[in-house]
Structure 1
Amino acid sequence: MTQDVIRVAVNGYGVIGKRVVDAVCTMPDMELVGVADVVGDWRIRAAVGQNIAVFASTGQADAAMRAAGVPVAGSLEDLLATVDVVVDTTPKKIATANVPAYRAAGVKAVFQGGEAHATTGHSFVAQANYATAVGRDMTRVVSCNTTSVVRVLGALQDASLLARARGVLIRRATDPGESHLGGVMNTVVPEASIPSHQGPDALTVRPDLDVVTMAAKAAHTQTHNHYWTLQLTRRASREEVLEALRAAPRIAFIKMADGLTGLNTTVELMRDLGRPRGDMWEVAIWEDVLAVQDDEAFLTYQVYNEAIVIPETIDAIRALTGSVPDGATSIAMTDQALGMRREFLPQPVRALTDG
């Protein structure tokens, strides 16, 4: 692509869609043209209040949105006619039906992890397989948990340290904004099969991973929690494992010793840091919990399910358009624009002593 600015549309203004919108508006090489949706409630009216052009995804939606007082700029087809890339953040299983419209409009398309790998034939995590997405017509950014799996296990694999991985995922019951619709209360619900879908999904990005995952839903709504037992390729020190993780992008470190002792404390920290919506785009690994015994490593980390895929989506936009052929360059651009960190807290000041 020769143009300087990538013109982007977002189809679906929900939990992920509104965050993609914010991120696109933060990127110096992208322009948000508009968003499409099927509702005219508070969510889309909030977009109107931010001077975002709103389009109707269907004819029926157009009538309903206008009846609700939403200024509709046009149809989804009108929006697609003016952009280079559409990011589809519609609810799970709906996006596949949108593929013909995107192909007819000749636009690149980025889908989310709720869709099947077969929808696009390509699944994406920037640090793992950016190059294979360059110039493609479409790709699928894998789910929040799968993104974390590829980031963390991929870092150890790239350092030639990982032989196999076995993980347990404690998932949030539902998104915070939908907790009024029902959810898990006062119980934990194991997923009915092993492996859970995250392990096989990670293989769509890194086929050579030896990984098995188990998962359960718990009675909370903010963030997921992972526990991993890792068989290393050799005896290693704790510092070697940490260095491998530090060498990878989008992994940050938190410490129990700093009072970050539960999922809620990290969520509160993101708010105190002034993150938009309190989002955490990084995988947060508890550094002082990580343990290594001979050729095994044990670690736990936190995944902010509403935000972790946002930087991957931005990189996918650049990869599809070919505007930035190099993955490391795109990752650095995205991370700088969003303000991502490797450490969330400043280093403690040591008292000076005489002598």
Structure 2
Amino acid sequence: MTHTENTRVAVNGYGVIGKRVAAAVAAQDDMTLAGVADVATDWRVAVARAKGYPLFGATLEHVRAMTEAGLDPAGSLDDLLGAADVVVDCTPKKVAAGNVERYRERGIKFIVQGGEKHAVTGHSFTAENNYDTALGRQSTRVVSCNTTSTVRTLSALKQAGLLKKARGVLIRRATDPWESHLGGIMNTLVPEADIPSHQGPDAQTVDPELDVVTMAVKAPETLSHLHYWTVQLTREASKDEVLGALRASSRIAFIRMADGLVALNSVKELMADLGRPHDNLYEVAVWEDMLTVQGDEAFYAYMVDNQAIVIPETIDAIRALTEIEADGATSIEKTNEALGITGRLVPEPVAA
């Protein structure tokens, strides 16, 4: 493949993440969606076909089932892999690890999601941190939603020379919204048994120098996660200095309770009003007016859209693996422009 050709991207698994990855790939001017593969024959894949995405069955048996359902599949997963330069595996947790050998045998580049272990690829990715080390690799792992937000915010402080150590409490959504009828929890909170919870060590797979400890609890809601952080700075600093450090990341956006964004649901409603696909919040949404600095300690909270935050990272990972863009900052800029990530969520008032 020369750099004048579009990168052909396969998406294996058309669920919560897969459908968002497919839409994001289709929005890029240097990528072509080769197709999506799945095991289902329900409304989700029917929507994929209605969008004109080439549809493939995970196995020949699934191809037959799709054919019987009138979905007109283009072939099997093997056919899709043969027509692609890179595959983004968005299958359920632990399933991707079983697909890896097939990808390696075919010599196709591949990306797995944060539900898989770091050892599956030996490389864990966030675009602002280690784009360069992903260039030309056969594979990488885009870390989970919670880990992505942790690395984004702490790295912004670190790059400003302000981060000494961080301690975070993660209030996690219990399940994805469309599966609320299956495995949600009600009328209780479920603490994770281990301290640190897995997100802190996972962040260190991206940046081993981060001094971070996380604690987590599952809450009976599905919209997103909420993080509270206590950060010891390297020195005394002002609130404006901490805000400025966070503002340096194009994928951190400030929200304010003073604007009526007082809870997770109001921020999701804002995404809907902005016309974001699937109401996606790609950014880490930090409450600007809540952030407090006392001496050399900073305290802040933010919202993490578990279904959307990893999507821009996945697009950048595609460019890094396939080397269609050697510069991480340029890739981030291209992805941000295509997905409408501007660093600002509440529009400026229109002048009279």
Tell me which interval the TM-score lies in, with the shorter structure as reference length: over 0.9
1:17 equivalent in structure 2: 18
| Equivalent runs, 1:39-54 vs 2, <5 Å | 39-54=40-55
Output the amino acid matched with 1:226.
Answer: H
Task: Answer with 42-51 or 223-232: which moved more.
Answer: 42-51
1:197 equivalent in structure 2: 198
Q: Is residue 250–residue 342 contact of structure 2 (8 Å, CA) maintained in 1?
A: no
Q: Separation in 2 of the partners of 1:85 and 1:103?
A: 11
2:2 equivalent in structure 1: 2
Matched, 1:35 2:18: no
Q: Separation in 2 of the partners of 1:307 and 1:350?
A: 32
Q: Is residue 86–residue 318 contact of structure 2 (8 Å, CA) maintained in 1?
A: yes
| Equivalent runs, 1:196-345 vs 2, <5 Å | 196-345=197-346
Q: CA deviation at 1:134?
A: 0.2
Tell me the secondary structure at the aligned position of residue 195 of structure 2.
Answer: coil
For 1:242-263, what per-residue CA distance to the aligned partner results, in whole angstroms no more than 9, with x for missing partners? 0000111200000000010011
Q: Separation in 2 of the partners of 1:350 and 1:55?
A: 50
Matched, 1:163 2:138: no
Output the amino acid matched with 2:62.
Answer: A
TM-score of the two chains, using structure 2 as the length reference: 0.98
Matched, 1:107 2:108: yes
For 1:99-121, what per-residue CA distance to the aligned partner results, in whole angstroms no more than 9, with x for missing partners? 12112222110110010000000
Q: Separation in 1 of the partners of 2:206 and 2:187?
A: 35
Matched, 1:175 2:176: yes
> Superposition RMSD on alpha carbons, in Å?
1.3
Aligned residues: 351
Tell me the secondary structure at the aligned position of residue 25 of structure 2.
Answer: helix
Tell me the secondary structure at the aligned position of residue 290 of structure 2.
Answer: coil
Q: Separation in 2 of the partners of 1:347 and 1:281?
A: 19
For 1:55-76, what per-residue CA distance to the aligned partner results, in whole angstroms no more than 9, with x for missing partners? 1111222222222222111111
Identical amino acids, percent of aligned pairs: 64
Q: CA deviation at 1:188?
A: 1.1
For 1:9-64, what per-residue CA distance to the aligned partner results, in whole angstroms no more than 9, with x for missing partners? 00000000000000000000000011111111111111111111111111222222
Q: Separation in 1 of the partners of 2:341 and 2:39?
A: 32
Q: Separation in 1 of the partners of 2:347 and 2:250?
A: 19
CA gap of 1:349–1:174, structure 2 versus 1, over 3 A, is same
Q: Separation in 2 of the partners of 1:91 and 1:276?
A: 22
Q: Is residue 169–residue 227 contact of structure 2 (8 Å, CA) maintained in 1?
A: yes
Q: Separation in 2 of the partners of 1:330 and 1:348?
A: 30
1:137 equivalent in structure 2: 138
Q: Is residue 77–residue 105 contact of structure 1 (8 Å, CA) maintained in 2?
A: no
Q: Separation in 1 of the partners of 2:204 and 2:100?
A: 24
Q: Separation in 1 of the partners of 2:67 and 2:217?
A: 42
Q: CA deviation at 1:82?
A: 1.1
Q: CA deviation at 1:342?
A: 1.4
1:120 equivalent in structure 2: 121
1:346 equivalent in structure 2: 347
Q: Is residue 127–residue 249 contact of structure 1 (8 Å, CA) maintained in 2?
A: no
Q: CA deviation at 1:153?
A: 0.4
Q: Separation in 1 of the partners of 2:350 and 2:327?
A: 38
For 1:117-140, what per-residue CA distance to the aligned partner results, in whole angstroms no more than 9, with x for missing partners? 000000000001000000000000
Q: Which segments of 5 or more consecutive residues in structure 1 lack a partner in the other structure?
A: none
2:90 equivalent in structure 1: 89
Q: CA deviation at 1:348?
A: 5.3
CA gap of 1:81–1:213, structure 2 versus 1, over 3 A, is same
Q: CA deviation at 1:341?
A: 2.3
Q: Separation in 2 of the partners of 1:30 and 1:349?
A: 35
TM-score of the two chains, using structure 1 as the length reference: 0.97
Output the amino acid matched with 2:331.
Answer: S
Q: CA deviation at 1:350?
A: 10
Q: Separation in 1 of the partners of 2:351 and 2:10?
A: 49
Tell me the secondary structure at the aligned position of residue 235 of structure 2.
Answer: coil
Q: Separation in 1 of the partners of 2:297 and 2:274?
A: 34
Q: Separation in 2 of the partners of 1:174 and 1:239?
A: 36
Tell me the secondary structure at the aligned position of residue 204 of structure 1.
Answer: helix
Q: Separation in 1 of the partners of 2:43 and 2:289?
A: 42
Q: Separation in 1 of the partners of 2:350 and 2:331?
A: 34
Q: Is residue 187–residue 220 contact of structure 2 (8 Å, CA) maintained in 1?
A: yes
Tell me the secondary structure at the aligned position of residue 128 of structure 2.
Answer: helix
For 1:160-210, what per-residue CA distance to the aligned partner results, in whole angstroms no more than 9, with x for missing partners? 100000000001111001001131111111111111110000000010000
